[in-house]
């Protein structure tokens, strides 16, 4: 596809921000250069959608619902409703497979190329195959049914970390970064007005911190005119490494006389690895959810993740009690049938189990009946918005009902304030655009006196480079 025309009013090279501004998530950043138009991420905006929608009771059924509310950028010829004529968007670059960075691309025309790492593609497809689909088939990214098998409706073109690739005429290089999901990258994009670096979400304290530091050095070497950098925890940082998480988890599990329940993100395989190590060290069995097992299975199937063995004697897969099984669950039973357990099995062996269970898994508790002395470990972020607060209160209600004290043990997927400042000092861009943060004003003051122009972007405003 040739370059789209951005219109005579647009500068030669510019950035326009349509999400991820004064909020965490919903990143949609439009880069224009020599007539080419490329979005950096195209994520679901949970904060704004929750103002109007309440799944599953009321959900957006088509892109017009989100356009009219100002949740999607009102741009011509990029959505499926405008499927005739040439698309006026040349590409989408995805940093990682968290829904607040990719999910809204389901509204975009399928003929707009999207680029991601092989790992990001595998995780997104695993999410879709295991049940995360759009409001109707037209908006599915992928689906898996008994009748049609695995179907992929939007193909993500592969971009390999460290290998420059031409995207809409711009030389683009992805560099691996450490985050709470595999496959995360930052980008350096070469434009006529200078290079643009975008961190995506990253941290300097995780299992792959060396990758993040390499990205900072590579971005510095490109002498960027602009840096787009996240700031999720600039106002509230907790210093905790994955190894410290493992040590604290081990202490909690060793002191527990009954069942250990644990809640953490399904796609956070670093935390999954950590809990597996704890299970082995304490001679317990880690009973993971079917979705977690499927994520791992799909990554291993493509040679993208070999650290975790689903057939380990310390791992079993929990099967929920329900009338029918989804295709991905049938797949797991066929491949790992001897590892699949149900509530009665966990109940009988609860003193030797660590059961992964989030709020949506609490319906298993009446059948399991956790014995006195059992605990719940929350190994994900504390609630940081009203919607999360409501879910957290519901979780606490279940824990109170079944006598389960709550322990929180977590290391964030995002950089601390000091690491964010270090990243800016290392890269040394001409301009710093503060994104993916609810504390942009604090962030700007924290970066003061570094001799860079710091920009708190306004939504819809065009910033010339």
Question: What is the percent of the chain where pLDDT is above 70?
Answer: 95
> Angle 290-301/118-129 helices, nearest 10 degrees?
140
**Closest C-alpha to 181, from 101, 265, 105, 100:** 265
Percent of the chain with pLDDT over 90: 83
pLDDT computed for residue 382 by the predictor:
52
The pTM score is: 0.92
| Distance from the Cα of residue 39 to its chain's centroid | 17
pLDDT, tens digit, 9 for 90 and up, residues 179-218: 999 999 999 999 999 999 999 999 999 889 999 999 999 9
CATH 3.60.15.10 fits 13-236+414-464, yes or no: yes
Cα separation values, 11 from 171, 224, 459, 462, Å: 20, 18, 17, 8
pLDDT of residue 96: 96
- Cβ(89)–Cβ(78) below 8 Å: yes
Output the pLDDT for position 4.
42
Domain ranges of the chain: 13-236+414-464, 242-408
The pairing of beta strand 142-145 with beta strand 149-152: antiparallel
The predicted pLDDT at position 239 comes to: 81
Report the pLDDT averaged over residues 392-399: 94
Confidence of residue 236 (pLDDT cuts 50, 70, 90): confident
Pick 242-408's CATH classification: 3.40.50.740, 3.40.50.10710, 3.40.50.450, 3.60.15.10: 3.40.50.10710
SS3 category, 36: strand
pLDDT of residue 383: 47
Give the residue-averaged pLDDT of 372-401: 80
User: What pLDDT, on the 0 to 100 scale, is given for residue 388?
Assistant: 52
> pLDDT tens for residues 410-422?
999 999 999 999 9
Integer Cα distance of 387 and 51 in angstroms: 10
Q: How confident is the model at residue 389 (pLDDT cuts 50, 70, 90)?
A: low
Is the confidence at residue 68, as pLDDT, over 80? yes
Q: Tell whether the model's pLDDT for residue 369 goes beyond 60.
A: yes
């Amino acid at each position: 596809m040739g370059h789209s025309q951005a219109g005579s009013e647009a500068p030669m090279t510019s950035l326009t921000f349509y999400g991820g501004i004064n909020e965490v998530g919903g990143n949609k950043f439009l880069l224009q250069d020599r007539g080419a138009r490329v979005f950096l991420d195209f994520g679901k905006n949970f904060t704004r959608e929750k103002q109007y929608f309440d799944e599953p009771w009321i959900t957006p059924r088509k892109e017009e619902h989100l356009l009219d509310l100002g949740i999607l950028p009102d741009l011509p010829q990029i959505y499926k409703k405008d499927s005739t004529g040439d698309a006026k968007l040349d590409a989408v670059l995805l940093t990682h497979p968290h829904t607040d960075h990719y999910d809204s691309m389901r509204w975009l025309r399928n003929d707009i190329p999207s680029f991601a790492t092989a790992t990001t593609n595998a995780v997104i497809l695993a999410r879709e195959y295991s049940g995360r689909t759009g409001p109707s088939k037209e908006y599915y990214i992928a689906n898996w049914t008994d009748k049609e098998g695995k179907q992929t409706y939007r193909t993500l073109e592969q971009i390999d970390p460290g290998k420059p690739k031409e995207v809409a005429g711009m030389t683009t290089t992805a560099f691996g970064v450490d985050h709470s999901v595999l496959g995360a990258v930052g980008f350096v994009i070469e434009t006529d007005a200078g290079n643009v670096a975008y961190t995506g979400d990253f941290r300097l304290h995780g299992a792959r911190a060396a990758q993040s530091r390499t990205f900072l050095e590579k971005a510095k070497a490109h002498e960027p005119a602009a840096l787009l950098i996240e700031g999720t925890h600039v106002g509230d940082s907790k210093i905790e490494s994955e190894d410290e998480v493992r040590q604290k988890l081990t202490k909690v599990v060793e002191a527990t006389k009954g069942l250990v329940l644990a809640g953490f993100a399904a796609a956070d395989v670093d935390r999954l690895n950590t809990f597996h190590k704890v299970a082995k060290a304490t001679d317990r069995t880690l009973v993971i959810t079917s979705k977690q097992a499927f994520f791992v299975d799909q990554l291993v199937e493509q040679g993208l993740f070999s650290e975790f063995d689903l057939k380990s004697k310390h791992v079993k897969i929990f099967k929920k009690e329900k009338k029918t099984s989804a295709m991905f669950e049938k797949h797991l039973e066929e491949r790992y049938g001897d590892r699949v357990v149900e509530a009665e099995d966990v109940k009988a062996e609860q003193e030797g189990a660590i059961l992964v269970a989030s709020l949506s898994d609490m319906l298993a508790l009446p059948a399991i009946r956790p014995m006195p002395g059992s605990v719940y470990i929350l190994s994900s972020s504390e609630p940081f918005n009203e919607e999360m607060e409501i879910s957290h209160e519901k979780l606490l209600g279940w824990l109170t009902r079944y006598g389960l004290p709550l322990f929180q043990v977590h290391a964030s997927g995002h950089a601390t304030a000091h690491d964010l400042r270090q990243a800016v000092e290392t890269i040394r861009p001409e301009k710093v655009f503060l994104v993916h943060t609810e504390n942009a004003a604090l962030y700007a003051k924290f970066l003061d006196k570094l001799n860079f122009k710091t920009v708190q972007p306004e939504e819809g405003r065009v910033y010339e480079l």
